[in-house]
Amino acid sequence: MTAVGTFSKLAALCFLFIASLLFPWPAGPLSGGALLASLLLWTLGAMRIDAFGKSISVLIPLSVLLAGWGYRHPAVPFAAHHPGILIISVGCVVLALSVALFVHTRRLIRVTPRLNAQSFGALLVVAFGGSLLLPKAFYAVPCLYAGPPLELVFAGLVWFVATLQMICNLDDMAREIARGAPRYREWQVAMMLFLYMVMVFI
């Protein structure tokens, strides 16, 4: 496992997701089923990665393609009508990843299992709890969505805890590299970073 290999796989997942968003998949129940299938495949891969072994290199990209299909129909029309917000959202993702890399390389935060668990729990509470209370904000863009102050606070919290989780994942990557983890584990770290990037984006 190497850092270059991990980031190469992260770039490949981002490319697959964008390509899947742009592909004219059929709408309707199939798109919802694709999103559920994507979540199932990712969960299986995250929980049983050693059991899948090298086949994870097929499982995770497939889950990303299905996620793009499932998210295409609410996301693409919004982006087409709000190109400025789309650019801002991409900037938020780049900023989050840049901050995470800077903090990780400078060792500004001491990552512990407790911090990892707490930040992950906070991310779930903020993202999914907020999406239920503020459904309009769930399909908007973080940080600079032109909505009420409460939605701006919600988006800012998602950005903060997602960035913190990226830092934790980069620390996990460094430990996996140090112990000589197999190369297929690059897909696991790349997938986790990709998921947090998507959460920042939406």
Structural domain harbouring 170: 3-201
d(CA 137, CA 147): 8
CB distance 164 to 124 below 8 Å = no
- Please state which of the ranges 59-63, 140-144, 155-159 shows the lowest mean pLDDT: 140-144
Question: What is the mean pLDDT of the segment spanning 106-123?
Answer: 84
Contact 9, 56 (CB under 8 A): no
Segment 18-39 mean pLDDT: 72
What domain count does the chain have?
1
pLDDT of residue 139: 45
Look up the pTM and report it. Answer: 0.78
Report yes or no: 200 and 19 within 8 Å, Cβ to Cβ: no
Query: How do residues 40-77 score in pLDDT, each as one tens digit?
Result: 776 666 665 555 666 777 778 888 887 777 777 666 66
Distance CA 83, CA 77 (A): 10
Kindly report the length of the chain: 202
pLDDT higher for 22 or 170? 170
Tokens 């800012």 -> residue: 156
Dihedral sign, CA of 153, 155, 161, 167? Answer: negative
d(CA 28, CA 192): 28
User: Which burial class, exposed, middle or buried, applies to 69 when counting CB atoms under 10 A from its CB (0-12, 13-18, 19+)?
Assistant: buried
Contact (Cβ atoms closer than 8 angstroms) between residue 20 and residue 72: yes
